[in-house]
Amino acid sequence: PRQPQQSAREMGYAGVCENSIDAVASRDHVAEFLFVASMLGINISRLAEEFCLWSSRQFRWVALDDAYATGSSIMPQKKNPDIAELARGKAGRLIGNLTGLLSTLKSLPLSYNRDLSEDKNGVLDSVDTLLLVLPAMAGMVATMTVNVEELRRQAPLGFTLATEVADWLAVRGVPFKEAHEITGALVQACEKHDLELWEASPALLAEIDGRLTPEVRDSLTLEAAIAARSGWGGTAPEQVRAQIARLKTALAAQRQWAAQYDGFRL
């Protein structure tokens, strides 16, 4: 007679089920797939929300290609981030499929129950949803343009470089709690005089604290602030390049696995 192990190998399974009751009753694998799909949908939704903000008139960090946006029905000057908004909305559908299955599984007795036939709808819908969302998001990202100059202009606004002052003091032996207070006083003074941090005169720096020498202004540039975060996972250019290299390696391994995967062999 045909052994279950042989059937499992021919169909591409890692092994056979250990218990016949569990084999027909369990839908853990389905719930796990729907969770992964939901988590992917949530991450896509978060990214989509960023693009809705970044492409807005208030931010103007990126411009979406016309193929992935439409004009407003009432405001001719407005470009709507349709793909991002629709992708963001699909996350609710993916979460709903997971919640629906978990609600069906709740309190079901062993072993098989006809209620379990409900597992197919959520899985197929989630697959269809991701097959729709993923290419659309990939196309939107690939065709967008980044407004580098606007990003550079906005990046230091709102005293975003204030932490550099505190770090500069701390490196020179000032306890960070004290450095934090000194930085706060400098920010208040700059707001009062309508100045950016790097515009503070030597006299104003000395008035705040004698340890704030003019050399602190050398660290108050975007390039210096980014380069200072050179630890593992930081934003320094060399760290970002290393992160990208590791990501490319991981993607290459996944592509190789996908290329070699045969699926179920009947």
The pLDDT score that the predictor gives to residue 79 is 86
The pTM of the full predicted model, rounded to 2 decimals, is 0.85
155: left (phi over 0), alpha (psi -120 to 50) or beta: alpha
Tokens standing for 216?
Answer: 């602190």
Alpha-carbon distance of 98 to 94, in angstroms, equals 7
Low-confidence stretches of the chain (pLDDT < 70) are 1, 73, 75-77, 263-266
The pLDDT score that the predictor gives to residue 106 is 95
The pLDDT score that the predictor gives to residue 266 is 47
The pLDDT score that the predictor gives to residue 262 is 74
The pLDDT score that the predictor gives to residue 265 is 52
The tokens 């991981």 sit on which residue? Answer: 250
The tokens 């995967």 sit on which residue? Answer: 261
Alpha-carbon distance of 123 to 40, in angstroms, equals 14
Domains of the chain, earliest start first: 4-153 (1.20.200.10), 156-220 (1.10.40.30)
Three-class DSSP category at 250: helix
The pLDDT score that the predictor gives to residue 168 is 97
Tokens standing for 62?
Answer: 């990126």
Residue 15 backbone dihedrals phi, psi, to 5 degrees: -175, -170
The pLDDT score that the predictor gives to residue 1 is 59
